[in-house]
Amino acid sequence: MPAKILIVEDHTDSREILRIQIEYLGYKVIEALRGEEALEKALVEDPDLIIMDIMLPGMNGIEATIALKQNPKTSRIPVIGHSAWKQNKDKAMAAGMVEFLLKPTPPRVFGEVLKRILGSSAERKYREAGGN
């Protein structure tokens, strides 16, 4: 079964670009438009990974990530920050994001990063489930 990726992005066209790219890479995509919605979807859908825009209306991507990391039910989901502002990187990493990608991100880069992160988190899930 393909990994499930939650895209959090308020801008309609940016969200479509992400969805097409990620689906092309063979993953299943679910979407949230706001930080608050991302927290709900993360709980209900239990995605394998989250791609989080930083500048969101209301709760921003940094705040949403901190909330995700504080909740034991969602804390293990890796979050990738996605922003047009490289200045957001330090805050993103401090909030517990596993990676930070600068917009525009070429599809190839997405492919490599997702493979690397999903590979290692799938391994961890397997170990925690009692494998070795």
Partner 1 sequence: MTPTRPRFRSQRLIKAAPWRVQARHHGAVALTREIAFPKVSMKSLQYRQVLGREIKTMGHAAKLGRNSKHHNQSGQKEFELLKSQFLTNISHELRTPLNIIIGYVSMILDGLMGKLEDETRSGLTKAMNASYHMLTLVNNLVDLACLAAGVVEIKKQAIDLRGLLDELATKSGALIKDRPVVLIKEISPLLPRIETDKDKLEKILGNLLDNAVKFTAEGQIVLRAYPRSGAVEVTVTDTGIGISREIQQVIFEDFRQADSSETRGYQGMGLGLALSKKLLGLLGGRIEAESEVGKGSTFRVILPGESPNAGKDSDC
Return the C-alpha torsion angle 89, 90, 92, 95, nearest 10. Answer: 170
To the nearest whole angstrom, how small is the minimum distance from the Cβ of residue 17 to partner 1? 4
Q: Do 55 and 32 form a contact (C-beta atoms < 8 A)?
A: no
Assess 119 for contact with partner 1 (CB under 8 A). no
Residue 100 pairs with which residues in a beta bridge?
81
Q: H/E element holding 102?
A: strand 99-102
In the range 3-22, which residues lie near partner 1 by CB under 8 A?
A: 11, 13-14, 17, 20-21
Site string for partner 1, 79-108 (x = CB under 8 A): -----xxxx---------------xx-xxx
Q: H/E element holding 93?
A: helix 89-94
Q: Given candidates 33, 55, 59, 93, which one binds partner 1 under the rule CB under 8 A?
A: 55
The footprint of partner 1 on this chain (CB under 8 A) covers a number of residues equal to: 18
Which CB sits closer to partner 1, 43 or 109?
A: 109
DSSP code, position 77 = S
How would you classify the pairing of strands 4-8 and 49-53?
parallel
Which residues contact partner 1 by CB under 8 A?
Answer: 11, 13-14, 17, 20-21, 24, 55, 57, 84-87, 103-104, 106-108
